[in-house]
């Protein structure tokens, strides 16, 4: 579906009762100025929905929406939230989100808070940082089952399989550390409440030492040992430190 956003939401609301339960939900950033939303009535995502294979061809999706604008993708968040509200995300079992760093932890909770049946999540690009913040947002630091005072439900409480794609584990976090340290800490918090069974890392920038540490937090960890688009980790860390001094 393409056209004015002002027409998309009313159309979705009027047709929502006739749209079957969504089992797979895709949210991809389309370079350089767009966001694509794909809803499917099957759990297994078609290969064509990969962020590396975006096209205008019919991939058998139940519904496909492309939002394009001259503004920053961050400006799409209110529209994305309203579009997602029109779907029956309560039945979703598989989500695939491949977006950049403009995504915030609260966006995950606001948009996917109803998707409590999600068992498989594919997370890619720089949104991994905010995802892990949201994943452990309501996990008490004392490793208890208490929620934070706002009583917001745990994000993806049924999550069993998490696949990370093209994630730079050595990206600098806001606290000055590296992303892999945040991932480790958030998985540790999550483990006592809703532990993952499988963690897969595809084309991610990470070293074996960090992978081994994650194996102590997740039952099954796999890594393809590919660092697509990255140089050596030591070079990256050196360059990051130089940038911080500028």
Q: Annotate 9-44 with three-state secondary structure.
A: HHHHHHHHHHCCCCCEEEEEEECCCEEEEEEECCCC
DSSP assignment of 181-231 = HHHHHHHHHHHTTS--SEEEEES-B--HHHHHHHTTTSSEEEE----TT--
How many angstroms separate the CA atoms of 87 and 25, rounded? 10
Q: Could you tell me the pLDDT band of residue 68, with boundaries at 50, 70 and 90? A: confident
How many angstroms separate the CA atoms of 20 and 66, rounded? 20
Classify residue 202: in a domain, yes or no: yes
Residue 157's domain comprises: 4-42+60-140+153-223
**Does the pLDDT at position 9 exceed 60?**
yes
Classify residue 147: in a domain, yes or no: no
Give pLDDT tens digits for 189-226. 999 889 999 999 999 999 999 999 999 999 999 999 88
How many angstroms separate the CA atoms of 200 and 161, rounded? 8
Classify residue 238: in a domain, yes or no: no
**Does the pLDDT at position 234 exceed 90?**
no
**Does the pLDDT at position 185 exceed 80?**
yes
Provide the pLDDT for residue 123.
96
How many angstroms separate the CA atoms of 5 and 162, rounded? 32
Classify residue 187: in a domain, yes or no: yes
Per the structure, the count of domains in the chain is 1
Q: Could you tell me the pLDDT band of residue 163, with boundaries at 50, 70 and 90? A: very high
Classify residue 146: in a domain, yes or no: no
Classify residue 32: in a domain, yes or no: yes
- Measured in whole angstroms, the distance separating CA 243 from the mean position of its chain's CA atoms is 27
Give pLDDT tens digits for 37-65. 888 887 665 444 444 344 444 455 678 88
> Three-state SS for 97?
strand
The CATH number of the domain where 94 resides is what?
3.80.10
Classify residue 67: in a domain, yes or no: yes
Classify residue 228: in a domain, yes or no: no
């Amino acid at each position: 579906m393409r056209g004015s956003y002002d027409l998309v939401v009313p159309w979705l609301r009027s047709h929502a009762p006739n749209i079957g339960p969504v089992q797979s939900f895709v949210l991809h950033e389309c370079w350089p100025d767009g966001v694509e939303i794909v809803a499917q009535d099957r759990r297994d995502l078609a290969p064509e929905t990969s962020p590396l294979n975006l096209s205008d061809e019919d991939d058998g999706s139940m519904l496909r929406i492309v939002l394009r604008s001259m503004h920053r993708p961050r400006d799409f968040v209110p529209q994305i939230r309203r579009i997602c509200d029109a779907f029956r995300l309560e039945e979703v079992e598989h989500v695939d989100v491949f977006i950049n760093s403009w995504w915030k932890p609260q966006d995950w909770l606001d948009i996917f808070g109803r998707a409590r049946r999600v068992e498989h999540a594919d997370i890619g690009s720089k949104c991994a940082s905010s995802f892990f913040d949201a994943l452990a947002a309501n996990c008490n630091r004392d490793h208890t089952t208490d929620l934070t005072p706002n009583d917001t439900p745990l994000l993806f409480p049924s999550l069993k399989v998490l696949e990370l794609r093209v994630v730079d584990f050595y990206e600098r976090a806001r606290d000055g550390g590296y992303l892999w340290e945040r991932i480790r800490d958030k998985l540790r918090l999550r483990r006592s409440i809703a532990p993952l069974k499988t963690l897969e890392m595809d084309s991610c920038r990470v070293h074996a030492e960090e992978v081994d540490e994650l194996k102590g937090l997740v039952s099954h960890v796999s890594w393809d040992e590919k660092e697509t688009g990255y140089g050596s980790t030591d070079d990256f860390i050196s360059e990051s430190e130089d940038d911080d001094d500028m």
